[in-house]
Structure 1
Amino acid sequence: MAVTPAWPRPAGRGPVVALGKLVADQVLELSGPLVVGGQQRVVRGTTAGGAPANGTATLARLGVPARLAGWAGADPVADGLLAALGARGVETSVVRRGRTPLSTVLVHPDGERTLLTDRGEGALEPADVRPGWLAGAAVVHLDGYDLLRFPDAVRTAADLAHDAGVPVSVDAAAATRMGSGYVELLAGLRPDVLFCNAAEASVLALDGGLPAWAPDLVLVHAGARPTRVLTRAGAVEVPVAPLPSVRDTTGCGDAFAAGVLAGWRAGAPVLDAVRSGHAAAAVVAGVVGAQPPP
């Protein structure tokens, strides 16, 4: 019997809230393969980055009300990033302290990317997480990287969302960052939907049936390969349409999640929402940087 995935519960009609830290992405587009000790010309740009900013930028482009909540640096870099997000139509509700995290993104000629990360100075504390950030939210989307850095604050946000009856989605951290205890951290968020890539799914033992700790809906994206939609009743695959070109894969996972969340909020069937995620990721793959064109 064919599996027909369903949302664990309906999303609300308010903004999609992405919670976490605001990052500055310095994008360096390489003109050739990187050679240790060598020199080459690059094309450089700086944008807001990190999963919450990337996701809300895509949501705003899709016409979905979006709010970035969490921590931003108390420096001129963050001033510019917040202004740029506001110009896109993203609402921001953040605490300001410390120095903005910076990711240097090396974009290779084949579209693959390498990240060099400066964690900045500052943090998101449980006491910072305000119920007003989540007020009227359609979905609260949490970042697995921030779960590693600010576990108590992220868990506080998840608890407040559940108390308010707001669905929670989580995007897992990179497979290389999942150490002992990461599954327990994820399970503690009680997500309704989990996003991950194929490598992350393997580390989380999501290759077969869903383990007891996992939510009832898990979406495993794998670049150009079909996305696997995992449920308790079984799995279904959604093919990815061929892309005319790939300039940069940075932020494609964030755009995919945003497209899916937009579909969830609109009440679209799960598989249609996944296709919307593919379309959103394709837009980001066609530009340099982690965000879609304004």
Structure 2
Amino acid sequence: MTEATLDIVAIGNAIVDVIAQADDAFIESEGLPKGSMRLIDESTAAILYSHMGPGREISGGSAANTVAGMAALGAKCGFIGQVADDQLGEVFAHDIRANGIAFNTPTRAGEPTTARCLILVTPDAQRTMNTFLGASQYLPASALDRDLIASAKILYLEGYLWDPEEPRVAMRAAIEVARAAGRAVAFTLSDAFCISRHRADFRALIDGGLIDILFANEGELLSLVETDDFDAAVATIAAKVPCLVVTRGAAGAIAVVDGASHSVPAEPIAQIVDTTGAGDLFAAGFMAGQVQGRSVDDCLVMGAVAAAEVISHYGARPEAKLDQLVRARLG
């Protein structure tokens, strides 16, 4: 096995987030389930965008947010995701490269346009997400940089991208490349709606021993196992993956690594502004700690610190210097 030159390569949706404040009345008037994530078509996106208040455009996407967080913590990162040859595609490519992340996936000509997520944040910091996947769902296996994948200690895959057929095939191919190179494979379940459609596939990956690190929140884990018993769900999945990480909101997070259970409380925060990206940044902190060779407990603290930072402001990318926050917390 050759020595890794990158810490992580992630594959996920290449999305530009458009974030706007909204009140409950607006959410209700648009017929949106508050706090939900739904997929929409381009025309629906255009109509909703015309109704929204002033917004901020910030590059997003779950796995892309995670590698941005890892890069902020000093990790060497790469990203693979599909954008179109348009203005939002240029925004996404600029933003991710500006973070020092290797990104060389060829742009896609023609329709559809680059993916966007219209995020409405209510005063209680809940976000209602409306996602047009656009070009991101057309990532072909032929666009994979196999050398880039093989060069990283960890391949990180985003469950959101499992829906469309092309990227699903691409991610299966990426797992084969990572396995052949002797690298670890991490997977985030992303959302309960993904699990409801792809539970059998996700369980097959886990049961087949193809996942080394699994990230989930409490609701996703319960959905995966189809139970209301949290402890039973943890026991079921922890027996099948070397590392299981489960976030529990204000209750903190747990990790079960090689059968040993660890936990961390949520970091104190003066005000929660926007919960977008909390899970993404928790994964960033945890994996950054892993590639640094830190203890599981330290990795959990790093995840909690990164998550707390991102929910203290709008947007799913860190604004404060995460490495300084971690040093202040752990030394």
TM-score, structure 2 length as denominator? 0.78
Query: Partner of 1:29 in structure 2?
Result: 21
User: Cα distance, 1:220 vs. partner?
Assistant: 0.4
2:219 aligned with 1:199, yes or no?
yes
- What residue is the counterpart of 1:186 in the other structure? 205
Q: Distance in 2 between matches of 1:133 and 1:88?
A: 17
| CA deviation after TM superposition for structure 1 residue 86, in Å | 1.7
Separation (CA, whole Å) in 2 of partners of 1:248 and 1:279: 15
Q: 1:208 Cα shift? A: 4.1
Shift of 1:59: 1.6
- RMSD of the alignment, in Å? 2.5
Q: Deviations over 1:185-230 (max 9, x none)?
A: 5335711100000001101226241348831210000111121222
Structure with the bigger percentage of helix: 2
- Distance (Å, rounded) in 2 between the aligned partners of 1:286 and 1:117: 23
> What amino acid maps onto 2:120 in structure 1?
L
Q: Distance in 2 between matches of 1:63 and 1:266?
A: 9
- In the other structure, the counterpart of 2:176 is 159
Question: Structure 1 residues 91 and 212 mapped into 2: Cα distance closer, same or farther (>3 Å)?
Answer: closer
Match of 2:145 among 98, 118, 130: 130
Equivalent residues in 2 for 1:12-23, closer than 5 Å: 12=4, 14-23=6-15
More contact order relative to length (CA 8 Å, sep ≥ 6)? 1
Map 1:208-287 → 2, pairs under 5 A: 208-211=234-237, 214-231=240-257, 233-287=259-313
Q: Percent identity?
A: 27
Q: 1:26 to 1:35 in 2, by over 3 A?
A: closer
Q: Which amino acid aligns with 2:217?
A: N
From the superposition, tell whether residues 232 and 33 of structure 1 become closer, same or farther in structure 2 (CA, over 3 Å): farther
Distance 1:217 1:101, change over 3 A: same
Instruction: Report how far residue 55 of structure 1 moved.
Output: 1.1
2:106 pairs, out of 95, 117, 124, with 95
Shift of 1:160: 0.4
Asked if structure 1 preserves the Cα contact closer than 8 Å seen for 2:242 and 2:258, the reply is yes
Task: Map Cα deviations across residues 143-176 of structure 1 (whole Å, 9 max, x no partner).
Answer: 0111232221111111101111111111113112
Number of aligned residue pairs: 284
Over 3 Å counting, the alpha-carbon distance change for 1:85 and 1:234 in structure 2 is closer
Q: 1:15 to 1:233 in 2, by over 3 A?
A: closer
Deviates more, 1:90-99 or 1:151-160: 90-99
Of 190, 194, 214, 1:177 maps to: 194
Give the corresponding residue for 2:95: 84
For residue 7 of structure 1, what is the aligned residue in structure 2? none
CA drift of 1:89 comes to 1.9
- Preserved contact between residue 111 and residue 248 of structure 1 (Cα < 8 Å): yes
- Give the C-alpha shift of residue 69 in structure 1: 1.4
- Alignment partner of 1:52 out of 63, 75, 99: 63
Query: Aligned equivalents of 1:137 and 1:261: distance in 2?
Result: 13
The CA deviation at 1:40 is: 9.2
User: In the alignment, is the contact (CA less than 8 A) between 2:6 and 2:78 conserved in 1?
Assistant: no
In the alignment, structure 2 segments of 5+ residues that lack a partner are: 31-49, 226-231, 321-331
Deviation at 1:108, TM superposition (A): 1.0
Q: Take 1:208 and 1:293, find their aligned partners in 2: how far apart are those partners?
A: 33
Shift of 1:237: 2.3
Q: Letter of the 1:28 partner, please give it.
A: A
Q: Distance in 2 between matches of 1:190 and 1:78?
A: 32
**Residue range with higher mean Cα deviation, 231-240 or 267-276:** 231-240
Deviates more, 1:122-131 or 1:140-149: 122-131
1:15 counterpart SS class = strand
| 1:35 to 1:220, Cα distance in 2 relative to 1, 3 A | closer
Aligned counterpart for 2:74 among listed residues 46, 60, 63: 63
* Aligned-partner residue type, residue 216 of structure 1: P
On the 8 A contact 1:13/1:265 being kept in 2, the answer is no
The structure where strand makes up a greater share of residues is 1
Corresponding residue of 1:5: none
Query: In structure 2, what is the Cα distance between the partners aligned to 1:162 and 1:41?
Result: 45
